[in-house]
Structure 1
């Protein structure tokens, strides 16, 4: 009788508004730093946009990648390659048959810089000036394709798209590839590069962005009574997932187990979450059941918590319902308060934070919560990290997206 392979995390990589790699990003998160700052451009004035700040990358790709690579990749793929290279090196650059190696690196929006730049070129200079690499650069599977080419991954190169749940769903899909026996190792995560005037204007028009132009660093404030929207961010997070048997055979360092995946859809509204939170609860309960983890074992939750007026409390109530009274023993972190919202990259970066929280036994803080919402029914980690208990424990990472996509991942300690 065959058994389902256990999935472990053996490599981490990222480029974010807090740092150019995982160690610098994690240090900044534990220190409660904000990656939000004014943008060095005139977009707000030129295009009459009410927001002039964002959480931009701390280290530009031009400082990391050679010019030929930058020219043939959209920024979203550039970020993914930077994160994937770090994750692969962190995993020890394992020797693996390419037929047993997969890639699932996705973006919620894709190559929007390439798309819009290509349209501007066509409109202003004509079709002959449009770059021949435009389509490979803008296609939403470009990032995962480049990662698979880089590593020789032939077990599959996939791009799942579920808006702001994309990065987490990509990691869940990667885990399922290993469980199904399709691969021994999968490089997985999410990436996004949308700090461009058009999407910023669109989000501003929908009244989902914070307009605290006088205080960018304090603008993302999940669960604060004065929250007024999210801060748009950019970056990528990538993990190396591996079957436990394969990792053990090569003596790999293991950060944690990716133990459970829960997916659901609201079927309610294209942008608004179901007020009942039913889909979120189903995703969390499914992930716990998939992991074989009891609610009492959950000591930490990394919340989706974008800093929107409605969404934050729906999620808080959903966590309480999913965990029941055991929610009293779990501490909550809302790390978008520091990173901003990386959209398709958010769930992957927050999975990395969840893994490191268990590995280091430290829950990262939530900043900018001067006046906690009285309806918050959970123990929020504020301003400074919180120690997590020793022993075999579990954590949940939530990611939700426009369209009613709900993803919950359960990570367990080793």
Structure 2
């Protein structure tokens, strides 16, 4: 994979908009207040024995005014379109046709949601002996909506964001679980830094309240079961608690932002990604160390925001990596927000930019001592994303001079 690292003469890339819709609330103030109060919103009974972080109720009408648009989206799309709208509002470009007509979009998305009622109906009919030739095709043709083919297409999220908000620039969608979010940001950063693009909307969304996903991940024994625990405290009972969240960012060249009078939350200096083979113990830790060395030199007051999931052995290997960098206080987003797959890396970037803009790292929420208090304002935050199964990414978010 090609890395995006700041080089002399390259365009400085600012984060000028942040949109968050999570299990802790909608918008920056609500999420920041929940982090300060160490609130965690988990459901231990609705999907028992599995644990999820459900989306707090939001008024989708405020960002998706047409009910017809909402009806043809499944939850993961509504969450994403909503968060994207919040990011455009945050950047002050909502409804600005001149900017929206050229803004690029890079989205990280999963395979979409299955229609469980159709699946259940087909399986029940099969069990009762309704298995004549052509039966399955007939049911799928008649029962599925036009926007569905077994599962919604991943690029429908970008399409709906464009339709609802009037976006007219280029569009790219990345699939591939956690590292898709890192690559989406890497590509967007690279295009703006090199002058190919002036402004981009980047992010992802995830609906963790899905029985089909829980079944899928249970086949790999990845789900956290029975009782919630912070990410770093799950070694003896590993697993991730899926979370529902949308996280979108507006990235913009410094010149483009200054020309319209926009103020930055922070700047995105570098995004690097890799794919460790993970054949032997220590492979992933070594890759994280390699990515760390590729980041620009860190000279300010630093911290780490980790997307660690709680799944093993990835989380233990990441903890071993973190032990070599104990001068950087760490925070695990998975504890507070759950594991949001493609959205976890954009979420980490959003929280890093928010922390820098508010002059403080949010407090630790951990029972193992892995997370410690941080005194003073962070000027550099490294965002780490290690996939539960594959893929690693790292980014450097910095204060604007």
TM-score exceeds 0.5? yes
Alignment match, 1:389: 377
Query: How many residues matched?
Result: 375
Give the secondary structure class of the aligned counterpart of 1:203: helix
> Do structure 1's residue 256 and structure 2's residue 266 form an aligned pair?
yes
Unpaired runs of 5+ in structure 2?
1-7, 126-137
Q: Quote how far apart the aligned CAs of 1:206 are.
A: 2.6
Residue of 305, 308, 312 corresponding to 2:311: 308
Within 2, Cα distance between the matches of 1:356 and 1:122?
Answer: 47
CA distance change for structure 1 residues 261 and 350 in 2, over 3 Å: closer, same or farther?
same
- Aligned pair partner of 2:251 in 241, 254, 265: 241
Cα pair 2:44 2:226 within 8 Å, conserved = no
SS at match of 2:25: coil
Counterpart contact for 1:74–1:113, Cα < 8 Å: no
Superposed, which structure 2 residues align to 1:150-169 within 5 Å?
A: 150-169=164-183
Cα deviation per residue 1:313-349 (whole Å; 9 max; x = unaligned)?
311332455xxxxx34311111211111111111111
Which secondary structure state, in structure 2, belongs to the residue aligned with residue 411 of structure 1? strand
The question of 1:18 aligning with 2:24 is answered yes
Mapped to 1, the partners of 2:274 and 2:57 lie a distance apart of 35
CA contact (8 A) 1:256 1:355 kept: yes
- CA distances 1:170-202 after superposition (whole Å, capped 9, x unpaired): 222211121232221100011112421122123
Contact 1:212 1:219 in 2 (8 A): no
Q: CA deviation at 1:60?
A: 4.8
1:297 aligns with: 300
Q: What is the aligned partner in structure 2 of residue 333 from structure 1?
A: 331
- Change in 2 beyond 3 A, CA 1:163/1:359: same
Larger deviation, residues 400-409 vs 224-233: 224-233
Per-residue CA distance 1:69-92 (angstroms, 9 max, x = gap): 221112221111100111101111
1:202 to 216, 224, 227: 216
Q: 2:367 aligns with which of 347, 370, 387?
A: 370
Q: What is residue 404 of structure 1 aligned with on the other side?
A: 390
Partner Cα distance (2:338, 2:386) in 1: 15
Q: Which moved more, 1:13-22 or 1:119-128?
A: 119-128
The CA deviation at 1:38 is 3.2
Q: Could you say which residue in structure 2 is the equivalent of 1:91?
A: 91
Q: Determine the C-alpha separation between the residues in 2 that align with 1:119 and 1:265.
A: 34
Tell me if the contact between 1:162 and 1:402 (Cα under 8 Å) persists in the aligned partners. no
Please tell me whether the aligned partners of residues 238 and 348 of structure 1 are also in contact (alpha carbons under 8 angstroms).
yes
2:42 corresponding residue in structure 1: 36
Specify which of 102, 105, 119 is matched with residue 103 of structure 1.
105
* Whole-angstrom distance in 2 between the partners of 1:205 and 1:402: 14
Shift of 1:312: 2.5
Residues 97-125 of structure 1: per-residue CA shift (max 9 Å, x gap): 45631011211x231234x4554566668
- Deviation per residue, 1:25-59 (Å, 9 max, x gap): 1211121110212354xx54xxxxx32x3101012
User: By how many angstroms is 1:250 displaced?
Assistant: 0.8
Alignment root-mean-square deviation, CA: 2.8
